[in-house]
Structure 1
Amino acid sequence: ELSGIPYVGSGVLASAVGQDKDYMKRVFTSFGLKVGPYVTIRPREWEADQAAATAKILDFAGEHGWPLFVKPARAGSSIGITKVDDPSGLEEAVREARRHDPKIIVEALLRGREIECGVLEFEDGPRASVPAEIPPVSSHDFYDFEAKYIDSASGLVPAPMTPEQTAEVQRLAIEAFEAASCEGLVRADFFLTEDGEFVINEINTMPGFTPISMYPRMWQESGIEYPELVDRLIQAALRRSTGLR
Structure 2
Amino acid sequence: MSTKRRVGIIFGGKSAEHEVSLQSAKNIVDAIDPEKYNVTLLGIDKDGKWHINDQSHYLLNEENPKLIQLNKSNEHVAIVPGETNQQLINASGEVSLEQLDVIFPIVHGTLGEDGSLQGMLRLANIPYVGTNVLGSALCMDKDIAKRLLKDAGINVAKSITVKRREKEALNFQNIKEKIGLPFFIKPANQGSSVGVSKVNTEQEFKQGMEDAFTYDHKVLLEENIDGRELECSVLGNDDPVASLPGEILPQGDFYSYETKYIDESGALLEAPANLADDEIKNIKETAVHAFKALECEGMARVDFFMQKDGTLVLNEINTLPGFTKISMYPKLWEISGIPYSELIDRLIELAIDRHEQDAQLKSSID
- SS state at 1:234 partner: helix
Q: Residue 42 of structure 1 aligns with which residue?
A: 163
| Equivalent residues of 2:255, 2:267 under 8 A apart | no
Question: Would you identify which runs of 4 or more consecutive aligned residues in structure 1 move more than 4 Å?
Answer: none
**CA apart distance, 1:68:** 1.2
- SS state at 1:240 partner: helix
| Equivalent residues of 2:250, 2:268 under 8 A apart | no
- SS state at 2:186 partner: strand
Q: Residue 143 of structure 2 aligns with which residue?
A: 22
**CA apart distance, 1:212:** 4.5
- SS state at 2:267 partner: coil
Q: Which moved more, 1:182-191 or 1:144-153?
A: 144-153
Q: Residue 351 of structure 2 aligns with which residue?
A: 237
- Compute the TM-score of the two structures, normalised by the length of structure 2: 0.62
Q: Percent identity?
A: 44
| Equivalent residues of 2:164, 2:217 under 8 A apart | yes
| Equivalent residues of 1:114, 1:189 under 8 A apart | yes
Residue 13 (str. 1) matches residue 125 (str. 2): no
1:79 to 188, 194, 207: 194
Q: Residue 259 of structure 2 aligns with which residue?
A: 147
Larger radius of gyration: 2
Gaps in structure 2 of 5+ consecutive residues: 1-121, 362-366
| Equivalent residues of 1:211, 1:226 under 8 A apart | no
**CA apart distance, 1:163:** 0.2
Q: Residue 62 of structure 1 aligns with which residue?
A: 177
2:284 to 170, 192, 200: 170
Amino acid at match of 1:147: T
Q: Residue 214 of structure 1 aligns with which residue?
A: 328
**CA apart distance, 1:60:** 3.0
* Higher RCO, Cα 8 Å, sep 6+: 1
Instruction: Map 1:129-208; keep pairs closer than 5 Å.
Output: 129-137=243-251, 140-149=252-261, 150=263, 151-208=265-322
Q: Distance in 1 between matches of 2:150 and 2:268?
A: 31
Residue 125 (str. 1) matches residue 208 (str. 2): no
Q: Which moved more, 1:95-104 or 1:112-121?
A: 95-104
- SS state at 1:134 partner: strand
Residue 105 (str. 1) matches residue 220 (str. 2): yes
Q: Distance in 2 between matches of 1:135 and 1:191?
A: 12
- Compute the TM-score of the two structures, normalised by the length of structure 1: 0.91
Which structure carries more strand by proportion?
A: 2
**CA apart distance, 1:63:** 2.7
Q: Distance in 1 between matches of 2:260 and 2:342?
A: 26
Q: Distance in 1 between matches of 2:206 and 2:175?
A: 15
Q: Distance in 2 between matches of 1:23 and 1:197?
A: 22
Q: Distance in 2 between matches of 1:128 and 1:192?
A: 17
| Equivalent residues of 2:260, 2:326 under 8 A apart | no
| Equivalent residues of 1:78, 1:143 under 8 A apart | yes
1:33 to 132, 136, 154: 154
| Equivalent residues of 2:183, 2:224 under 8 A apart | yes
Amino acid at match of 2:306: L
Amino acid at match of 1:130: L
Amino acid at match of 1:25: K
Please give the per-residue CA displacement for 1:69-111, whole angstroms capped at 9, x wherever unaligned: 1111111211111111022322111111101112110011100
| Equivalent residues of 1:208, 1:215 under 8 A apart | yes
**CA apart distance, 1:64:** 2.7
**CA apart distance, 1:211:** 5.5
Gaps in structure 1 of 5+ consecutive residues: none
2:230 to 94, 104, 115: 115
- SS state at 1:116 partner: strand
Amino acid at match of 1:37: K
